[in-house]
Amino acid sequence: MNKQRETAKDNVLNALARAKLQEYLVIDGYTYPCKGGWVPGRLLNHVSIGGEDGKRRKRNLQEEGWIIEKRKMLNSASYEYRLVCTRHEAQRIAMNYYGRITPQMIYGMKPKQVGLFD
């Protein structure tokens, strides 16, 4: 079950990166516009991306260190989300196989120190 959660979390990250790169997402044969890389929140909950807990998986990504912006959609009570990175970085993230790319690799952050002298 944990492997399934990790895969769904990677799918959310991949969708945010591809939206940044292409400004659209193709899900189950349908094309969804993502102008400026902004992904509607309902797409994160799509079965092919994050499932019912897509937004929770987005929060998990933020806890790991990924920077994801949030804004309210025009004329709607819903929100949309965008991964903060350059197009080149979005390409690296979109080609991320099995979670090998970390926020530290993209944003140049130092990983959290865990040890006796922290």
Helix/strand/coil (H, E, C) string of 64-78? HCCCEEEEECCCCCC
Question: Taking the domains of the chain in order of start, what are their residue ranges?
Answer: 2-107
What's the residue count for the chain? 118
Lowest mean pLDDT across 49-58, 70-79, 92-101:
92-101
Classified as helix, coil or strand, 35 is helix
Residue 97 and residue 77: Cα distance in Å, rounded?
34
Residues 36-52 have pLDDT tens digits of 999 999 999 998 888 88
Assess contact for 45 and 51: CB atoms under 8 A. yes
**For residue 87, pLDDT beyond 70:** yes
Assess contact for 83 and 91: CB atoms under 8 A. no
Q: Is the model more confident about 5 or about 8?
A: 8
pLDDT-derived band at 1, boundaries 50, 70, 90: very low
Is the whole-model pTM more than 0.85? Answer: no
**For residue 24, pLDDT beyond 90:** yes
Across-strand partners of 80?
A: 40, 71
Backbone φ and ψ for 26, nearest 5 degrees, come out as: -110, 115
Assess contact for 71 and 79: CB atoms under 8 A. yes
Task: Look up tokens 């937004």; give the residue.
Answer: 55
